[in-house]
Each structure stands twice: as C-alpha cells, then as structure tokens.
Structure 1
Amino acid sequence: MKREKKIRKIIHMDMDAFYASVEQLDFPELRGKPIAVGGGTQRGVVAAASYEARKYGVRSAMSNAEALRRCPHIIFVKSRSRRYKEISQKLMAMFHEYTDLVEPLSIDEAFLDVTENKKEEPYAMSIAEEIRSRVKKEFGLTVSAGVSYNKFLAKTASDVNKPDGMFVITPKRTQQFLDILPIRRFHGVGKVTAKKMTRLGIENGKDLKEFLENDLVRHFGKVGHFYYNIVRGIDNRPVQADRVRKSIGTEETFLTDITDREQVVEALEEIAKELNRRAMQKNVGGYTITLKVKYSDFKKISRSRTYGKPIYRTKAIENASLFLWDKIPMEQGIRLLGITLSKLVALSSLSAEKQIQKDLFSEIG
C-alpha cells in the first residue's frame, strides 16, 4: 500500500525593521519618529530604517545624504551590533523550543520546519501565532510570519502583511495566489530581473507561467529552472539546521576619498583587523579572499584569489588584500574598501592552524 506523502509545514519568521525597532525599544524618545541606523555622516549608508522613515522612501543601503534629502527631520543613530546579536540569539533559542529544524537566514529572520515539532501542534499557523505573541510580550518587538508548505512560499507570504502580520498560503490557494502576484513580489526575483521580465511581458505569476522552461533558461540562464518551478509552487529545498555561512566580510566607507597607496594600506590594515575579529567569533577561515573597491563616482570593482589553505589571521588577510590591490587601477579617489572571506571552513583547532598561516605568509609574500 502506497503511503501518502506528508505535506511539509514551513514558517518564515521575519523581524520588523529589526535594528530600528531595537533602538526604539531601548530609547523610548525615538518611538514614533523616523530614524535611520548607521550613523549620520554624509558618506555613510543606512543600515536600517524605521517604518516612520520608510514612509518617506528611506530604505536600507541608501546613502545618508539621500535619506536626509527625502526626510529632512530623520534621526540618525549609531549601530549597536552587540545589542542586536544579543536579542537575535535569544530569538533563535525561542525558535528552537518548537523545532530543531531552524535555519537562520540572517540576524533577524529564519525558517522553521514544524512538520514534526516539539509541541506536537498539528497546525503551523498556531505555532506561528504563539511565537509572534511571545516575541511581542517577552521582547517588546514585532515579527511577521509566512506559513506554507515550502520555503519559497513561506518567505513570500511573510511580506504580505508586514509589519506585525501573518499570511498563510495553503496548497489549494497557491496557484490562485501566485497567478495574481506582481512579479516584483516574487522572492528571488530582483529589481534587474523584474525589469527584464517586464520587457518580456511578464507582469505577474500568470504571465510567467506561460513561458516554457527552456525559454526561461534561454532568457535568464540556469535560474530559469527555479522561476519555472516557483511559479507553480514547487520548491523542494529542505530547512537546513546546520546551514553553513557562505562568506564573512567587512568594509569601510571613507568620509573623504582616499587617493594614495599609503592611505589604502592603512585602511586595509584596519579592515583586516575587524575581519579577523569576526572570523574568530565564528571560528572560521576562508580559502578565497575578495577585495572590493568603490570609486568616488560609485563605480565598483573587485578582485579575488583562492589559496590552498584557509586564511583568518590579520596579517594573512592584510597581505592577501594588498596583493589584490596591486592589481586594481588607482583611477580616481576611493570611496569604499571591503574585504570578504568565502569558501569558509571551521577551524577545529587553532593551534594546528598556526602552521597553516605560517606557510601561507610565505606563499602570499
């Protein structure tokens, strides 16, 4: 007798304007006011914006100068990463009270597979509501939730009733929901791809579904397979509790453009120190190092190199980034420098890694 396949129950929990909400929680005088986290210098970038600021069009990754232009009375506050991480760890611990299948996507969002859960609760919607209630009561913050039978639909659903809302997409409701969903609202379809789809006459899910899989691959490459499946509600990716971080990096935007190698060397040294600190926190090293440069006209360029052994020490990061810097033209003033380590590996024994780093110094000069 053939057994019926059990339908998965996936929840996507997404904190509402997390950084900004934490600031408003800790500092009551900021509540109800438009704030931007990330500092107030003209050369800075908004890390997060409160919903009051978003009404004026202020968004994360926007320059502080543009945020100020759109909202002249915006309040800039300094980022407090340690505080955000503290709350995030407590949130993730709460999620684990319901299931061991928790996959963090970032500091403020995660997937939960509650098909089999510790509360023996048959309805994922009930678990999502209980978590939302607890977050508000125990942390004074709000979280939005999306509930469905796969990760794509749960992630898409969590955006529907933001902030402080929940949306459920059942198997029977899926196709009707996707058919009318604007293509820009599909998780995994970025702004550039959405514009390209619009030029092809794809405005919503119904339009996308009319394209053959081979045609989508021809227009969008391998990701075309993904688009073909998600518009039909197909996403078999599991929630991975042991999800490994793919990269770790840090960058610095300068108050004034730097224009000579001596300044670059000094900046890279400080960035390397910070990246080493983060690598030590995560107990990881990276086989690949990438140097990112943004010029004064916002043109971006990057160079990467992969080594036979993992990098994590400050001096090794610094030497490797300087090697890459010498391959980048000094066309004009430098607005931003960043270093990223990828192809990460856990450093199970730091003492054993000392010899690796010693060997690496000689390799990268």
Structure 2
Amino acid sequence: MIALIDMDCFFAQIEQMDNRNWFKKPVAVTNGTQGTTIITCSYEARAFGVHTGMRLKQARQLCPGLIHAPSRPYRYAELSTRIMEGLIDITPDVEVFSVDEAFLDLSRCQSLYQGATDIGYLIKKRVWQVSGLHCSIGISGDKTTAKFAAKKAKPDGLKVIHPDLAAEVLASEVVTALSGINKGIGRFLRHYGVERCGDMKKIPMSLLAKRFGHLGRRIWLMAQGLDPEPLNFNVKAPKSIGHGKVLPPKTAQKNIILTYLQHMSEKVAARMRCFCYQAECFFIGLKTERGWLKTKARAGVYTDDGQVIYQLCKAFVDFYWAGQGVWQVQVTALSPRQGKQLDLFAQPDLQREHLNQTVDKVNYRYGELTLAPARLLQKSTMPNVIAPAWKPKGHRKTI
C-alpha cells in the first residue's frame, strides 16, 4: 500500500494562509518583487486561465484582480520540513519526493488502521494539524498509480485505486499522463501503436528495454499498475554540488557578471563546508544567446573556499568571455569528496580555515551572507529558489 501526498498549490496556499485577506482570492507567486514569471498560482487564479510559467503581465490581463506574492523560499522549506516530519507519525517509511510531495509506504502498518480510506483521511488530518494546509492524496499498490490517483484527486481530495483494479483504471489513460513518461518517450511509443496505457500489452517489454534499458522495463510495468520501483529513504551522496542564477537578459557588464559568479562561488563553498565536502574540479558556465560558454576548471587542490572558486571563475571570464550578453551563470563542484582532502606537500591555510568557520557560524545564526566579500553588497536582490531535489535533511537541504 503506497500513498502519495501532494500539497495543493503549495507556495500560493502558504501565502493565502499567512495573509488572511488573500484567502480564496487569486494569488500568483513569482521569484521576488522583480520576478516576472509565475512559479505557481492559486486555484482561484487558475479559474481565469492563469498558469505556472505564464508572464505576470499576461496573467493580469486575464485576471485584473490578481494578487502578486513575492516568493519566500525559507518559509516554504520550513513548512515542508514540518509536514515531512509529521508524516512519520503515520509511518516511518517516508520518501520525500520534492518540497511539496512525499511517498508513504503503508504496507507494514495496514493492520493499525481501518483500510486505505481511513489511512488517507488520517494523513490529511495530520498534514492539517502540523501546517494548516490542504493536500491531495492518492493510494494504490505502486508509486506511479498512487501519484496518478493524487493528481486525479486535486484539489483537497483522496482517491484510492485498489491494486487489483489498477490496470483497468489506467487502461484508457494516455501513457504521458503517468509521471516519468515524457513527450519524447510518448512519441517513441506512438510509433509502435501505444497511445494509451492499455495498449502497452501490444508490444513486448524487450522492445522498451532495448531502447531505454531498466527505465524501459519499468515503463512497461507502470502502464499496467505494476511499477516495481521501491521507495527510496536515503539521500544519495552527491555527484555534484552547484548553484546558478538568472541575470537580467543580455547582461554585458563584466563587474555584474563577476558579482553573480562570486555569489554562486560563496554559496557552493558554504554548502560544501556545511556538509564536509571538498572538490578539486569545478564547472563554470555563462549562458549566452548562442548557448553555454563553459569550462571545467581545476583548483589543483581539494578546496571548500569560496575565494579559491571565485578566482577560477575570474580567470575563466578573463580568458573566454568576449563581451557577449549573458542570461545565466552556473558554478558547480564536480565529484565532491567528504572529509578534508590533504595534499602531502601543501601547507594548509589555517587562518583562512578559521575565517571561513567564523563566517559560517555568523551566517548560520543571522542569515545567508550576513558576512560576505564586499563585492556581494552589489548582489542581486532576487531571492534564492528551492532546488527541485530539495530534501529536509542532508546536502539536498538547500535554497
């Protein structure tokens, strides 16, 4: 028995809760006061045709009374953490899928409750108790069908699909309605006459396995309500640790580009220090009109120092950048290793290490970049955003 908890218009619902005069009114959330693209919006706004990804200007033409809410990612993360911790009261087997979604494996505790519907309403009650927010819940025998059921239950609903009926329920649904089957896979399946889940039996599993490997085998089973994917309770070690930020379009002032790169360097370094990681190789990129201008720069030693990372960024800009407009910057530590990586011949800069430790303590207590390089006084006022792979614990707990 698998349940998927999906918070309804999570960010917008929080804004409506915290601003009571916005209750049941059309609200659109953007990235800060300067943000022009809608991150999410309330159901009242959606009734006017407003949707995620729409420009605020266009949304206001559809809904003149639209309320603009600048995002508050730390508030969203705070409530998400509270919800995820509250779900452990239902079952210890919880997989945090994203900031507003979680899977619960209820298989081991079914005897404690009075069936799937009873469990579903208990989960909704628990989420409300810890957050004051509504959610939609889908329950079935596998992750994909549970997620499909939750989508059908929106908003503030509960839908149970018994495992024995999953294949029958999914049969008439287009395959791309299932999470994990994108348009590209859909086009491939359509070529073999598979448009709806019930058509999947027309082709052998080996056809998908040959094209997509393990994912292909899983897709073949997903369409029949037999997704074999178990819940994942552990946050895997990172293959990379990075941060990026969008600039005003066609930014061509070198000083501004360097400010953004230093901001990202300090964020990456602070995050590595927080979780005891260091890296020797860093991806540095500038997104231009013709695509990414990028490099993999080596520091020569393993480091978690933002100043060292920034010097790599500065050298990259001096050597590669030719004055073209920039839309976005990215700094990523590649293949980070946990623990201090000591060089046999290098002398550690203890003064610099102590400085970073002190800065981290101050910033942890008083907020990110309370202490920072002077250049970052000019940094963007746009707030940080929650990464798609956010988790309430470990190195994925990042904004």
Q: Same fold (TM over 0.5)?
A: yes
Q: Deviations over 1:279-317 (max 9, x none)?
A: 4555655677544544358x5676667999876432344
Closer, same or farther: CA 212–21 of 1 in aligned 2, 3 Å: same
Q: Which amino acid in the other structure matches residue 338 of structure 1?
A: Q
Alignment partners' CA distance in 1, 2:85 and 2:195 = 40
Q: Distance in 1 between matches of 2:140 and 2:322?
A: 50
Between the aligned partners of 2:161 and 2:32, the Cα distance in structure 1 is: 41
- Aligned-residue Cα RMSD (Å) equals 3.7
Shift in Å, 1:334: 1.3
1:164-183 alignment runs, 5 A limit:
164-183=156-175
Q: 1:222 to 1:284 in 2, by over 3 A?
A: same
Normalised by the length of structure 1, the TM-score is 0.78
Deviation at 1:17, TM superposition (A): 1.0
Q: Which amino acid aligns with 1:33?
A: K
- Any idea what SS the aligned residue of 1:214 has? helix
1:10 aligned residue: 2
Corresponding position of 2:234: 242
CA apart distance, 1:52: 2.4
Specify the alignment match of 1:6 in structure 2.
none
State whether residues 82 and 130 of structure 2, in contact with CA within 8 Å, keep that contact through their aligned partners in structure 1: no
Which of 147, 171, 175 is the equivalent residue of 2:139? 147
Distance 2:44 2:241 in 1: 31
- Alpha-carbon spacing, 1:232–1:110, altered in 2? closer, same or farther (3 Å): same
Picking from 194, 204, 208, the partner of 2:196 is 204
Matches within 5 A, 1:99-248: 99-117=91-109, 120-121=112-113, 123-198=115-190, 200-217=192-209, 220=212, 223-244=215-236, 246=238, 248=241
> Counterpart of 1:251?
244
Instruction: Tell me the equivalent position of 1:315.
Output: 307
Is 1:78 equivalent to 2:78 in the alignment? no
Aligned partners of 2:87 and 2:127 also within 8 Å: no
Q: 2:331 aligns with which of 333, 336, 339?
A: 339
Match of 2:262 among 259, 269, 285: 269
In the other structure, the counterpart of 1:54 is 46
Aligned length: 347
1:294–1:334 CA contact under 8 A, matched in 2: yes
Identity %: 27
> Cα offset for 1:205?
0.4
My pick for the range that moved more, 11-20 or 117-126, is: 117-126
Change (3 A) 1:102 1:40: closer
Residue 169 (structure 1) shift: 1.9
Distance across 2 between alignment mates of 1:88 and 1:98 = 16
What secondary structure, in the 3-state scheme, does the structure 1 residue paired with 2:328 have? strand
* Range with greater deviation from structure 2 (321-330 or 240-249): 321-330
Superposition pairs of residues 281-296 of structure 1, within 5 angstroms: 289-291=282-284, 293-296=286-289
Structure 1 residue runs without a partner (length 5+)? 1-8
Q: In the superposition, relative to structure 1, how do residues 140 and 295 fare at CA in structure 2: closer, same or farther (>3 Å)?
A: same
The whole-number CA distance in structure 2 between the counterparts of 1:130 and 1:306 is: 52
Shift of 1:222: 5.2
Deviation at 1:29, TM superposition (A): 2.2
Report the TM-score when normalising by structure 2.
Answer: 0.73
1:35 corresponding residue in structure 2: 27
| Greater Cα shift, 94-103 or 50-59 | 50-59
Aligned pair in 2 of structure 1 residues 93, 62: CA closer, same or farther (>3 Å)?
A: same
Cα deviation per residue 1:109-163 (whole Å; 9 max; x = unaligned)?
Answer: 1111121239833634322211202323442211111111222222222111111
Offset at 1:96? Answer: 1.0
Deviation at 1:232, TM superposition (A): 2.6
Any idea what SS the aligned residue of 2:38 has?
coil
The 2-side partners of 1:164 and 1:157 are apart by 12
Range moving further from structure 2, 251-260 or 74-83: 251-260
Distance 1:292 1:66 in 2: 31
Separation in 1 of the partners of 2:267 and 2:8?
28
Amino acid at match of 2:250: D
Gaps of 5+ in 2: 350-399
Q: Identify if the C-alpha distance between structure 1 residues 264 and 25 changes in structure 2 by more than 3 Å, giving closer, same or farther.
A: same
Q: How far apart are residue 72 of structure 1 and its match?
A: 5.2
Secondary structure, aligned partner of 1:117: helix
Given residue 252 of structure 1, which amino acid in structure 2 is its aligned partner? K
SS at match of 1:154: helix
Q: Say if 2:87 and 2:126, in contact at 8 Å, map to a contact too.
A: no
